[in-house]
A and B are shown apart, each in its own frame.
Chain A
Amino acid sequence: MSSYPQEASWINLLSSTLGFTPGTQEWVFAAIGLVFIYCVIILPSAAMMSFLDRKLSADFQARVGPNRAGPAGVFQPLADLVKLLQKEAASTDWNWREALWLGVHTMALYSTVAVIPLGSMALLVDTDMSVFLPFWAALVLALGTMLLGFSQASVPGWFGGIRIAAQVLAGAFPSLVAVLCAGIHSGDYRWSAFVGAQAAFPLRWTAFSDPFQFIAFVVFVAGGLVMLAVPPMDAAVSLRDLHGGVSSHLFGRRLSLYRLGRFYGFFLWSVMATVIFLGAWTLPFGLGGVLRTREELWLLQLLETLWLLGKTFLLMLAITSLARVHPRGRIDQVTDFSWKVLSPFSLFALIGSALWTGWGLLR
């Protein structure tokens, strides 16, 4: 377990760089940090992943994919965003219920930016329950999404709302148990503890440390897909199955907000999976230690974040390609899969990893 010295915290780094007086309130830094993370990391990631997703699925289907906006269509996400932002409202009466629940949905999602781990010095909140905060956020998100669906006052909205709530409940249990497995391995639920329990070499990652952890890893990722309705588990919000479900009446700015939120959920879950199971941001070849002793903290933080994001994007691409070659599950198949396959396997992994770790401690 590693604990970093207080002077290496992100707050000190930020305040010394931006030239704030030492007495500045912490919430100022927190606000700046959140906006910074959102604009510099989440938005570009969303653009990149949506482009890669479309190109990847185009390749799988022997199509060309986006090719009009910019070289090879790389500016297509930007073009889409601009198009969505300038759309006019279809009706003049303002659906305040939709706006309210879209707001709850979005706030529940982005409240987790505060706990998203992006590097040893970018841990905004590192308590012994950091890892569980996204779960509570996901439950609030489920409520917001369900009522967003109800506010549409349409059949797809009603059914989408009910189904997405069912899906979140089904997915939360196995992924929560999977986190418990990883906690048994690391001994604590701090992000820093999960990082400290792993090393740069893949066989020292939690996912590959023992077979039960690998099962837990798979269950965690699949449970997250179910929970956040990420393809191929997105029957409740898909256009083909349910006319978009809870998003059936969203358009323009509201739709772009909603879609960005959907991406953020997927991104958050992949970052969590990478930090908990795939070696987090630990740099290879002992680079982290070297940079730390040389006090190159900005460079260290930058490299750590890039390394983490690189792994995260690979994981997301793997999931996306899997989603593109696999038919989307029906809602009953998705919940069945979660309750009848993921849950038993997660419990099996929990017992197994407990015995494995206990045996290791006794030995």
Chain B
Amino acid sequence: MKSSIFSTVRAYLYDVYLRFRSIWGSLLTALPYLWGAGELRKEVTEQYPDPISSRTADDLPARSRGLLFNDIQRCTGCKECEKICPVQCIRVDTEAGSDPTKLWVARFDIDFSKCVFCGLCVESCHPQSLMHSRQYEGAVYELKDLVASFGRGYVTAEQRMKWAALRKQAESDEVYL
């Protein structure tokens, strides 16, 4: 059908009208959000817990997974966490200590630049020495500062020999007992 000038003008004006109606419609949808009455208005934004947002670290959920902390006094150096870590961010080195029943955890490093905070290590920790702290401010100036060390440190050869002697002593004591 050949369109006449009138139908062309009419279609043009109808197009302009549709555009204005569309703008008006989107305004009607959006404006109620200004006073919190929009259809989908839900408080979904969690404010960062710090003094500016007047929230504190205590507002964190009970099971929130903060930076990891290892209580080295309870740690047995079993390396379960090192084995289960999906990103290999835990590095544990142990050696025999003075007590024959316990290992000396010389090195217990957690690289937070790799850690994904999955919590598998905490679940697998039998002596429950490894846990999530409520610390979440992890920003540092140097990448190497992101490695947290909980180990007791490597010992000297002299110390090692002394401990070996102590262990021998303990074993012989055990025999006599």
Contacts and interface: CB of A to CB of B under 8 A. Distances in A.
Interface of A: 56, 59-64, 67-68, 321-322, 324-326, 341
Contact of A341 (B16, B29, B53): B16
Contacts of A325: 23, 26-27, 29-30
A60 B38 CA distance: 9
Given A67-B52, A341-B16, A62 B26 contact: no
Interface string B4-40: 0000000000001001000100110111011000101
Given A321-B30, A341-B16, 19 more contacts: A56-B34, A59-B33, A60-B30, A60-B33, A60-B34, A62-B40, A62-B44, A63-B45, A64-B45, A64-B47, A67-B47, A67-B52, A67-B53, A68-B52, A322-B23, A322-B27, A325-B26, A326-B23, A326-B26
10 contacts: A62-B41, A62-B42, A62-B45, A67-B52, A322-B23, A324-B30, A325-B29, A326-B26, A341-B16, A341-B19
**Nearest 7 A-B pairs (CB), nearest first?**
A325-B30, A325-B26, A60-B30, A64-B45, A59-B34, A60-B33, A59-B33
Contacts of A63: 45
A63 B38 CA distance: 12
Contacts of B47: 64, 67
A56 B27 CA distance: 13
Nearest to A61: B33
B53 A62 contact: no
A80 to B, nearest CB: 17
Nearest to B44: A62
A329 to B, nearest CB: 10
A325 B30 CA distance: 7
Contacts, number: 36
A299 B125 CA distance: 75
Contacts of B29: 325
Nearest to A345: B16
A223 to B, nearest CB: 15
Contacts of B42: 62
B30 A62 contact: no
Contacts of A324: 30
For chain B, give the interface size range. 10 to 19
Contacts of B45: 62-64
Contacts of B26: 325-326
B146 to A, nearest CB: 24
Contacts of A61: 33
B38 A62 contact: yes
B13 to A, nearest CB: 10
A106 B42 CA distance: 43
B116 to A, nearest CB: 27
Nearest to B36: A59
B48 to A, nearest CB: 9
A263 to B, nearest CB: 22
Nearest to A57: B30
B26 to A, nearest CB: 4
Contacts of B31: 321
Contacts of A56: 34
Given A67-B52, A341-B16, A62 B33 contact: yes
B36 to A, nearest CB: 8
A56 B35 CA distance: 11
Contacts of A67: 47, 52-53
Contacts of A322: 23, 27
B22 to A, nearest CB: 8
A64 B38 CA distance: 15
A116 to B, nearest CB: 29
B19 to A, nearest CB: 8
Nearest to B41: A62
B17 to A, nearest CB: 11
A62 to B, nearest CB: 5
Nearest to B52: A68
Nearest to B22: A326
Interface string B114-153: 0000000000000000000000000000000000000000
Nearest to A340: B12
A40 B23 CA distance: 35
A143 B26 CA distance: 35
Nearest to B48: A68
B162 to A, nearest CB: 56
A324 B29 CA distance: 12
A69 to B, nearest CB: 9
Contacts of A341: 16, 19
A322 B23 CA distance: 8
Nearest to A62: B41
